[in-house]
Amino acid sequence: MTTLLTGGAGFIGSHMSALLLEYEHDFVVVDNLTNSDVSQLKKLEKFFKKKIPFHKIDIRDKSSMKTIFDRYEIDSVIHFAGLKAVNESVNEPKLYHDNNVVGSECLIELVCKYNIKNFIFSSSATVYGEPVYLPIDEDHPLKAMSPYGQNKIDIEKLIIDNPFFNTRCATKILRYFNPVGAYNNGLIGEIPRGIPNNLMPYLLGVVNGTYPYLQVFGDDYKTNDGTPIRDYIHVMDLVEAHLMALQDNKLGIDIYNVGNGKGVSVMEMIKAFEKVNKIEVPYKIMPRREGDVESCYANNKKIGEVLNWKAKHNISDICKDAYLFSQQLKK
Ligand code: NAD
Ligand code: WQD
């Protein structure tokens, strides 16, 4: 039996691939490579001495996708594929709706047709918008702050409103907080395309000399040191949550936050990075970034209690692994 990973060549999908290879779990990757290339999968193939079945397909191409469902005995699907740049979604809302929501609709049609037993969808903490209370639990009201966030809410609704997912499939909606870090001493990691928007990829660009300093977007928030707080989760902890979700065959839909449950400020991240990697991170305080929330961190009790998942990595591990990966990239 085989698991289909849509978007499996990307950051989180390639780390999922690494974990599935460790567990000798059969899988096939489908990705249109709009935001990735096959380099990470190639590295894994070399390391594990195993071929990864890969097909360059867009999930909206239903006939090609059908050949994948026909060819492999797919019994589970992890749906990572999607565009994820918040700013880009503001400029290109139609593109985002078409790729993310219409793409998911096409996939869902096949998931139902092929009676898939387990389905996992990559949602995001962005669906919560500006937090009304902290830590955020799964019952927190949803409010999109960008077309990307609206896409995630729309896709969740497509799943929730579909009787197949409620009665015939073990369905998990995982709302990720801020995934960072890398696999196995930096064998694979996140390769940002263009100038990174996210904190860790930009910070890595600074310590590797691409950018002169990190811009810290605001130090006048009502937090311990004035900089915004997020819930950074090691990507290997995140993909482990998927493996646990895949092993739970209870029919119906469960929604889980996947976060460390601990808030870390931008300054705390910089200090942790400097300490564990023994390297200075030059930074400048800049004005606030539009659309940023002050604090966002998870109540992760539900996934701990129901799936027995627990994050194993702390912020130092995250900073160490991310740096190791960026060092590998330079070689
Ligand atoms: P990524 O861009 O590295 O990976 C997504 C992959 O999907 C890419 O390889 C891309 O080429 C592929 N893709 C996009 N549209 C496709 C399409 N129509 N058909 C086939 N392939 C397509 O992003 P990631 O960080 O690995 O994110 C994976 C998923 O997790 C996304 O759905 C994202 O929205 C979600 N998510 C990510 C984060 C984060 O901060 N990284 C946080 C919350 C949720
Ligand atoms: C973290 C903190 C910035 C860059 C985004 C998406 C969200 C989700 C994860 C997919 C913030 C600060 C950042 C920099 C900085 N993705 N920062 N200098 O904003 O929490 O979430 O990625 O679902 O949808 O919105 O993550 O890494 O961009 O920012 O000071 O150069 O770092 O202000 O406080 P964010 P981020």
Alpha-carbon distance of 284 to 276, in angstroms, equals 21
Residues known to be catalytic: 148
pLDDT score at 192? 86
pLDDT score at 238? 98
The pLDDT tens digits for 92-132 are 999 999 999 999 999 999 999 999 999 999 999 999 999 99
Residue 300 Rama label (left phi>0; alpha psi -120 to 50; beta): alpha
| CA-proximal residue: ligand 2, atom 24 (nearest) | 126
What number is the average pLDDT over the span 69-89?
A: 97
pLDDT score at 199? 98
293 — pLDDT class (breaks 50, 70, 90): very high
Q: Is the CB of 151 under 6 A from ligand 1?
A: no
Q: How many Å lie between the centroid of ligand 2 and the Cα of residue 111? A: 32
Q: Is the CB of 147 under 6 A from ligand 2?
A: no
pLDDT score at 155? 99
The DSSP annotation for 62-106 comes to: HHHHHHHHHHTTEEEEEE--S---HHHHHH-HHHHIIIIIIHHHH
Question: Helix, strand or coil for residue 33?
Answer: coil
Q: Which ligand is located closest to the Cα atom of residue 294?
A: 2
Alpha-carbon distance of 176 to 70, in angstroms, equals 31
| CA-proximal residue: ligand 2, atom 28 (nearest) | 198
Q: How many Å lie between the centroid of ligand 1 and the Cα of residue 82? A: 4
330 — pLDDT class (breaks 50, 70, 90): confident
What one-letter code names the amino acid at 240?
Answer: E
pLDDT higher than 90, residue 298 = yes
Q: Which ligand is located closest to the Cα atom of residue 176?
A: 1
Q: How many Å lie between the centroid of ligand 1 and the Cα of residue 236? A: 16
Percentage with pLDDT > 90 across the chain: 97
Q: How many Å lie between the centroid of ligand 1 and the Cα of residue 321? A: 21
pLDDT score at 64? 98
Q: Is the CB of 152 under 6 A from ligand 2?
A: no
pLDDT higher than 80, residue 18 = yes
Q: Is the CB of 13 under 6 A from ligand 1?
A: yes
Q: Is the CB of 172 under 6 A from ligand 2?
A: no
pLDDT score at 23? 98
- Closest alpha carbon to 77 in 1, 177, 154, 161: 1
